Chain A
């Protein structure tokens, strides 16, 4: 799995026991969006396209890494409890609060389960194109 190396994207990295994703984007909001898209792709998520719906979410955290983990964890929660996945995001980040307008649909298929988004070696680093991070998912 790999998107072309544009200004934003994600790719899966080798990990012995879990899944690891490398994500890059110009800013934190787009980094969160790419991470979400990559996470859904890892799980083999497919949506029921004619049942689109919208949701809003807001998470607060100590720093930007924690915001990223909290945002993805909230998506896992919505996936498990409501059976919903999302493919369009409008995200804003201000003062350690992330707000997102999510557009998606119920899952048509989901082939693999993520237990949790971890903080393992998680650091959002500056890069020539903006920001990049590696995220390990417990599966």
Chain B
């Protein structure tokens, strides 16, 4: 078990576990946390998992861990690891089963005070339009050919089908489409799971939330994003559904053989990996990109149906009910990027699992209106607490492979949460706070109780204090839809 004595504090917000801590580590571990946040996770195994992750072949720099870190499986949630091309490895477990899970933020011109009496209707309309919950299928039934198009073209498929605008795509990470996807590398099982699920939210910690912009911290960035204090916004959190889960499962199984073939020894079988330049590594990259494109298209279709719900409720009641896209960003993904490591420009595969890309100002991949402010970062808090809009910084490029936090981070186990919190009580409590809840399962709701999470404000204060993100706006939820 890693203890505080094993770590060196390098600043108020940064700690390091040196490479000498364990003989099989290839790089040190850099942790972004206050002492309070660090102590909150000392009881779980996230730091041990971070040390295990530091054994992956081909790592450069540090394994980085965010302040919302918590114990996951294999690689910790909140972890970032970069492996050098071409011979470094790619590890499906270090990206996660929900490939390209992420968050989309839509802004509006609707003032909360003017419409608050309609929020119950809005919650019902969103719940009806955006299918959520276990086993729920979507409004669409894709043919095999259509699914292939989703795999190859992501949100561009949604644009062709009338579920998106050009502006939506421009304001999506990678413009909603990653090159190099090959649906021939995806199993029949994954395709069968994926076909009925485009445009579905799923269950667990996924949600659609309507929030009010409560406080603006950076007026220039907020203006560029069209965020106005007191106005409604919509947050959509979900990923690649059963399609991505099956792809990751298939490749974690396949890579059990690949590590033997390439003589790679690892402390945990969930970390299995293959060299990026191997056939196995290339096959996973191509399949992972299919799931990434699927997730972009999924959030795009959900955004379309969220707009439909807004139209149903607000047409005739407000002058402009349109929802404009602010940004869509992933927090479970492997990306080929260039970073400066020890003064050298290196092509790397950045694994982010529960961590968000946070590129600073000047990044060419950003739409023009965001190029001077940095890449938008969307950080959902726990249900009923705040969510945040941040932007990436030069500091994140220098310290964390252009990455920052992704949420609040759990502190209480699911089994304890469901023993101590009653879903019905929680719903009543949240409704008393003025939050409209629609949930598919009361047990599922209890597991996601705010008490099971860290304080998202502490997490955001830490990344802002460390300089790996900058605050733009704080959002307060008024409607929550959960599967």
Contacts and interface: CB of A to CB of B under 8 A. Distances in A.
Contacts of A115: 97-98, 204, 245
B483 interface: yes
Given A19-B415, A77-B246, A121-B269, 12 more contacts: A14-B416, A15-B413, A19-B414, A62-B256, A77-B193, A81-B192, A112-B134, A112-B444, A118-B74, A119-B93, A119-B252, A120-B73
Contacts of B444: 111-112
B410 A113 contact: no
Interface in A83-139: 83, 107, 110-113, 115-122, 136, 138-139
B483 A81 contact: no
Contacts of B413: 14-16
B43 to A, nearest CB: 9
B411 interface: yes
Contacts of B141: none
A61 B440 CA distance: 36
Interface in B63-107: 70-74, 77, 93, 96-98
Nearest to B444: A112
B135 interface: yes
A52 to B, nearest CB: 19
A70 interface: yes
28 contacts: A12-B415, A17-B70, A17-B72, A17-B410, A18-B72, A44-B441, A44-B443, A62-B257, A62-B260, A63-B256, A69-B253, A70-B253, A73-B253, A77-B192, A79-B135, A110-B134, A111-B444, A112-B441, A113-B204, A118-B73, A118-B93, A119-B74, A119-B269, A119-B270, A120-B73, A120-B270, A121-B270, A138-B245
Contact of B135 (A83, A116, A119): A83
Interface in B436-456: 440-441, 443-444, 447
A65 interface: yes
B134 A15 contact: no
Interface string B397-416: 00000000000001111111
Nearest to A79: B135
Interface string A67-81: 001100100010111
A43 interface: yes
Given A112-B443, A118-B93, A15 B270 contact: no
Interface of A: 12-19, 43-44, 61-63, 65-66, 69-70, 73, 77, 79-81, 83, 107, 110-113, 115-122, 136, 138-139
A79 B193 CA distance: 10
A65 B269 contact: yes
A121 B267 CA distance: 8
B280 to A, nearest CB: 14
Contact of A107 (B71, B135, B203): B135
B373 interface: no
Contacts of B483: 113
Given A112-B444, A118-B270, A18 B192 contact: no
B93 A16 contact: no
Closest 4 CB pairs of A and B: A120-B73, A119-B269, A113-B203, A116-B97
Interface in B263-290: 268-270, 272
B295 to A, nearest CB: 13
Contacts of B272: 119
Contacts of B77: 17
Interface in B179-219: 189, 192-193, 202-204
A80 B441 contact: no
B203 A112 contact: yes
A65 to B, nearest CB: 7
A61 B97 CA distance: 20
Given A15-B415, A17-B71, A43 B134 contact: yes
